[in-house]
Structure 1
Amino acid sequence: MTQSVRVAAVQAAPVWLDAQASTDKAIDIIDKAAGQGAELVAFGESWLPGYPFWIWTRTPSAGVPYFLRYDRNAVTTDGPELAAIRSAARRHQIHVALGFAERAAGSLYCSQALIGDQGELLAVRRKLKPTHVERSLWGEGDGSDLLVTQTRLGRIGMLNCWEHIQPLSRYALYSMDEQIHIASWPALAVSRVEQGAQSARHVCASYALEGQCFVLSATNVLPAELAEELAPAPGALPPGGGAAAVFAPNTTVLAESSTDVHDEIVVTDCDLSAIRLAKMTADPVGHYARPDATRLLLDRTRRTPVVLLEPGADPSPADEPEPAPETGA
C-alpha cells in the first residue's frame, strides 16, 4: 500500500437525464484528472444520469414525465455506461468512484460504484435510506451496503449525501479501518438551509476527524438553465451548489473549489501516514472506545423479498437473509 495518494474530487454538472452524454463527460473528466497525476477520482451523487431535482420542486403527478426520462437513462451494473467508464479507468490506471441511478429489475436505487485501476468493479453499494422525497423514487439498501474495500491505494469507503448524518452508519465504516472516504453529494442548491454547502463542509470535516481518515467531498453543479426550468417560482432555485473539497484527518482543507458554479477538478496529495498520528490521540473504534458501555450491532446480510427453496431442500424461514458478498472489509 502506498503512503501518499494523489486524489481528485469532481465538482461538475452531468448532462442531465442523458446517461450516454454524462458517461462521455465522465470519461473526459477522468482523462483530465489522470493528466494531473490523480490515482483516484470521485464523482457526485447520481452522476448518471444526474440528480432528480424535480422531486423537490414538482408535485408527484407533474413529475411523471421527468421520471420516465430518468428511468430510461438509469443504468445497470453490467450495462455499457459503466463498461465504458471501467475501460477509461483501465486505460489510465486510475481508481474511479462514481454515483449512479441503478436500475435493478423494476426498481431504482441511488448507488455508488468503486472501480479499480485495472477496470475491475471492486464494489457497488446502495443508499440505505433515501432522504425525504427521494423515497418516492429510489428504493433502500441494506446492511450489506455498508462496506470498505481494500485497494492498492488503501481502504476506501463511500456514502451518499445525508447518509453522512447517520451516526451508526459512519461508525460502521470507521470500524472497518477506512482510510479514504468518498462523500458524494448532489448540487447543494435545492435547499440552502438543509442541504447547503456549509452543512456538507461541516459534516465532511467531522467525518474526517471522527474517522481519522481523508474525505473527498464530490458534488454536482446545477446549471442556470436547468435551475430556471425546475424552479417552483422565478429565482426560487439558485444555480450552482458545488462544494468540492478534500479534508485531512485533522479537518485541514487540503484543497477546495474556487467557486460553486463552475466545473472544477480539485486535486491534492493525501499522506496516509497522518492517519496513524491521528489515531494516537483518539481512535473511537479502538483504544478510545468503550464496548462495555456502548456497542454497534451491524447486520451485513443482504435482504431479499423472496427465498427460493429447491425441491428436496430443507425448509428455511421466509425471511432468511442471503449472506453479504465479499468486499475486502
Structure 2
Amino acid sequence: MNWPLRQDTAFFPPVAAPRVSGHLDCGDGHQIWWELTGDPAGVPVVVVHGGPGGAIRPYYRRLIDPDRQQGVFFDQRGCGQSLPAGALDRNTTPDLVTDMERLRAHLGFARWIVLGGSWGSTLALAYAQAHPQRVAGLVVSGVYLARPFDQWWWWHGAGHVFPEVFAARDAWLPASERSDPRGAFLRRIRDPDPAIHREAAHVLMMAEGQTLDLWPVAPGEDFAEITDGAVRSARIFAHYEAHDYFLAPDQLLRDAARLAGIPGAIIAGRSDMCTPPQSAWDLAQAWSDARLHIVPAAGHRWNDEQLCRPIIAELARLTGAG
C-alpha cells in the first residue's frame, strides 16, 4: 500500500504484530512461515496471498474481525519469510495445497474458512476442491482460473486498456521477440544469471503494477530500484506461469462440483484490469452455493476500499457475525 486508509474504512483497526507465529517444517527442504491474529476462540480464517511469489502484507490482518475471528496467515513456498527464500524446487500448486492442509492440522483446526485473492483465489479453489470436508466457507476475489483466456488477458488483453504501458513493456524487448512477449520475458526471468533476469523482472513487474489499482503509483525507471525480494517474486511467478500453474487444463471449473455444499462468495471489481470479472462470472455459473458480487468502481487488490467491504461482510456472514 502506498497511501493511508480512510478514517471511515471498513477495515478493522491495525494489528501491530501477530499473536503467535513460527515456521512449519514441510519435510522436503521447505519451511513455511505462519502467523495467527485475532480471537484464539474465534472462527479460523486462513488468508491466501497472491502472486505467485507474493507474501503476507500487514494490512491483510485488518480483514479479520479481532473479536469473532482468528486470522491465519502464511507465506507460500519461497515467499516472504518462508525458507529457503525464492526456492523453486518442489514448489508447485499440489505442494502448496499439501502445505495448507499440513498447516491446518498443525494448528489443530477441524475446519476453517478460506479467503484468497488473485493467485490466492486460484490456490484457495485448488485447496477447497482437494479438501472440501475441511472448508467451512470460501471467499475468493480477483478470480484467476489459470485458463488460456486468463493468461491471454494478462499478457495481451489488458493492453487494449493500457496500450501505452504494454507498448513500453514490449519495446524493451528486441524487435524480433515482440510477437511473443510471454515467451521472451519468461525465458529471461527464469535465466539463472542475475544480469539477465533482474532487469526483465523489473520491466514486467512495473507494467503489471499499472493494472492493479485505479490510481497506480508512477513506475520507477531505475533498474537498480527493484529489490532482491521483488526479483525472487518475479522468478516464482515465471516458474508457475511457465508450467501453467501446475494445473490441468480448465481444472478449476471442471472440478467446481467438488465445492457443492460449501457456502461462499465470489467478489470482483468492475474495474479490475488484472483479473476481469468474466472469470468471477464463469466460476459463479459452476458454483451455485456462492454469492457473486461485482463491485462498481473497484479494482484488483484488497487495499481497495470498495472491494474490501463485501469481503469483510461475507466473512462476517460465514462466521455467523453478520
TM-score when normalising by structure 1: 0.28
Give the structure with the larger strand fraction: 1
TM-score when normalising by structure 2: 0.28
Give the structure with the larger helix fraction: 2
